[in-house]
Amino acid sequence: MFSFALTILLDGLSYGMVLFLISVGLTITMGLMRVVNLAHGSFAMIGGYVAGYLTQHGMNFFLAVGAAVIVSGLLGAVVETTVYRPLYRKGELAQVLLTIGLVFVATAGVTEVFGAFPYNVKMPEYLTQPVDIGFRTYPAYRLFLIAVGAVVAAVLWYVIDGSILGARLRAAVDNARMARAVGMNVNVLFTGTFVVGCGLAGLGGAIGAGVMAMEPSYALKYLRLFLIVVIVGGEGSFKGSLVAALALGVIDTLGKYFFSQAASYLLYAAVFALLLWRPQGLLPAKSAA
């Protein structure tokens, strides 16, 4: 029984870490920069497809993941400067309509290039093997997801909450005019932040393809989960996104183990209860408290 419970916990944490890696970029762009970016999942999808294509053609897995992060980030830079920047002063409706349109464009493009069927990322053999963790053997791939997520979370925690860069970003979001007046290049700061968010999405899409399979409908299919993580965690809250992603990963995994036919209903019921309890999110940003 103990072994089974720990297995469920590890499965939930590994799934939650993938949700976190992708959703934290949405927390940055939607929560901190206050851009309703419904196309965020498209960058994760592109990262996954890039990693899948490169690994299937012989490239080392980690180099392919690095390439996926770079491609997603560069694409984010292009889109932010050409498409998103004019939307910053527009209303939420304009942002929603344009970004959901980008989802359909990305879906059509991926379908045209890679086909309409699921696309695999080829993992190295040592990640596909089980490892002994004391009480049982467990897939190395799942442990890898947990480790990568923990490292990224620690780095982001320091950058966002403990560095001058994070302070400048919050200042630019709260009052862009004043930030410019004291010498900050707000446009470069926003573009760089957007690139990081898209790169993290590409990382999550690439390494998480074994949990959230790559397919043309990926960006739209998982959009609800990314939004749920941001909302339940607290808008603009990095720590909230981490806690929410892990909690929802465990809840969803529990549902799939014990209530396979109603797992999604269990997840939504949990979200409903959490938002009734904490309408501002589990760990809202200070400005949202």
Per-residue pLDDT reduced to its tens digit, 182-206: 888 888 888 888 899 999 999 999 9
Tokens describing residue 1:
């029984």
Which region among 22-31, 49-58, 216-225, 252-261 has the lowest average model confidence (pLDDT)? 22-31
Share of the chain above pLDDT 90, in %: 58
Map out the domains of the chain as residue ranges.
Answer: 20-124+134-218, 222-289
Q: What's the average model confidence in pLDDT over 262-277?
A: 88
CB 42 within 8 A of CB 197: no
Sorted by sequence, the CB contacts under 8 Å of residue 216 that are 6+ apart come out as 107, 110, 111, 114, 116
Per the prediction, the chain carries an average pLDDT of: 89
Radius of gyration of the chain (CA): 19
Burial of 186 (0-12, 13-18, 19+ CB in 10 A): middle
The pLDDT value recorded for residue 32 is: 63
The pLDDT value recorded for residue 1 is: 66
CB 186 within 8 A of CB 176: yes
Q: How far is CA 232 from CA 36, 98, 125, 180, 268, in A?
A: 16, 24, 36, 32, 11
Q: What is the pTM of this model?
A: 0.91
Q: What's the average model confidence in pLDDT over 174-186?
A: 80
The pLDDT value recorded for residue 78 is: 93
Go through 121-134 and write b for each residue having 16 or more CB atoms within 10 A of its CB, e for each that does not.
bbbeeebeeeeeee
Residues 206-228 pLDDT 10s? 999 999 999 999 999 999 999 99
The pLDDT value recorded for residue 286 is: 61
Place of tokens 């320091």: 158
Burial of 273 (0-12, 13-18, 19+ CB in 10 A): exposed
Tokens describing residue 135:
């009480």
Which region among 30-39, 119-128, 135-144, 256-265 has the lowest average model confidence (pLDDT)? 30-39
The pLDDT value recorded for residue 119 is: 94
Confidence check: pLDDT of 45 > 60? yes
Backbone angles phi, psi at 131, to 5 degrees: -125, 155
Q: Report d(CA 250, CA 265) in Å as an integer.
A: 14
Backbone angles phi, psi at 280, to 5 degrees: -85, 0
Confidence check: pLDDT of 80 > 80? yes
Q: How far is CA 268 from CA 225, 229, 234, 271, in A?
A: 10, 12, 17, 5
Confidence check: pLDDT of 97 > 60? yes
How many CB atoms are closer than 10 A to CB 220? Answer: 18
Q: What's the average model confidence in pLDDT over 104-119?
A: 94
DSSP, collapsed to helix, strand or coil, labels residue 279 as coil
The pLDDT value recorded for residue 288 is: 42
